[in-house]
Structure 1
């Protein structure tokens, strides 16, 4: 199975899990690989589950300030991957994410993180102009750039496919998923940002996650 199919399979499993989660459960699945470890407590074996987490990172944002995973400590956040001159899925994806931002603007429990996959063109000043045109005027929504290795490497951790590809419009191939991350840096949902039904599901699941105890 090639890398693109692997990502698509992972996201398909994630969306299937989300579709099976009802309101009555009031609990979203934790998505990604997991490991188990054993420890002895009072003479008894206790099994702990270690879930997939977004690792440490550091990127330059639209204000030319380095932000890191620490910026999102204790917060729920929604991450995605885009580029400013994207001629295909990005405009729709970002407009839909903007709807979420506008609903929760000023809510310090929630943040937004958009990674540019165009490491050649999308400088901080370009990202700043893009954010302003989109209507984002605060730091609740961060737009970041970095090296190809770092940006594309972190996309794998979000289970999002990204690739530089001169044969596709815009020169970059990527998925338009909006990835929901909890306060422990675990993936709790992945939604096609170009699909109205899945964006609506994001609103529903986000409300559930905000009510969940950290």
Structure 2
């Protein structure tokens, strides 16, 4: 009788196990992030009038954006969302931010330094970068992150609100959308985009 009960219980466990397997959700891992390719190289001046290049970010996971200090539209939102990332990863010396101005005529190192102080930037490897206007616009094209002058736009410039995620090896990385397609960049103006990049930064830092 005991043997029959044991066989019956084992059968139930087996059936339940087979039913439950499809229900198990695989944990999202670094390998699930798409490797887009090497990020374009750059060399610019930061808020301390120091030359900074992509080489300064080697061995770090970092987020790159294009912005300008006097932007009256999406930049304030992007700034606040970047501060969310600062709060999340503050103290981790393997994380950094590169904010490149598209208005270098006005955004001198001194102006950028003041802008950082106003925002409350404390992250050691957050550089606000400026340089030659043509060089910067060419760089935005290489990243495929739109930026341009437009007298009809508020502030005289327009640009995407996207964040680029770059891994420790200098490669652009991203997750896939619900259809399995790479999203390429993260929406720096939405809570959803910030939550996604926050999760993916952590994956890359854990490597």
Decide: shared fold, TM above 0.5: yes
State the alpha-carbon separation in 1 of the partners of residues 124 and 199 from structure 2.
24
Secondary structure of 1:173's counterpart equals strand
Secondary structure of 2:40's counterpart equals coil
The residue number in structure 2 matching 1:56 is: 41
Cα offset, 1:54, TM superposition? 2.0
Cα 1:112/1:30, change in 2 over 3 Å:
same
Secondary structure of 2:38's counterpart equals coil
State the alpha-carbon separation in 1 of the partners of residues 46 and 120 from structure 2.
16
Contact 1:117–1:148 under 8 Å retained in 2: yes
Cα offset, 1:25, TM superposition? 4.3
1:1-214 → structure 2 map (5 Å cutoff):
23-27=27-31, 28-31=33-36, 52-137=37-122, 139-189=124-174, 190-212=185-207
**Computing the radius of gyration over CA atoms, which structure comes out larger, 1 or 2?**
2
State the alpha-carbon separation in 2 of the partners of residues 137 and 195 from structure 1.
22
Deviation by residue 1:49-96 (Cα, 9 ceiling, x = unmatched): xxx312332101001111111111111110001000101000001100
Question: Structure 1 or 2: larger strand share?
Answer: 1
TM-score by length of 2: 0.78
Question: Structure 1 or 2: larger helix share?
Answer: 2
Runs of 4+ in 1 over 3 A off after TM superposition: 22-26
Cα offset, 1:30, TM superposition? 1.2
Aligned length: 171
Cα 1:193/1:55, change in 2 over 3 Å:
closer
Contact 1:158–1:187 under 8 Å retained in 2: no
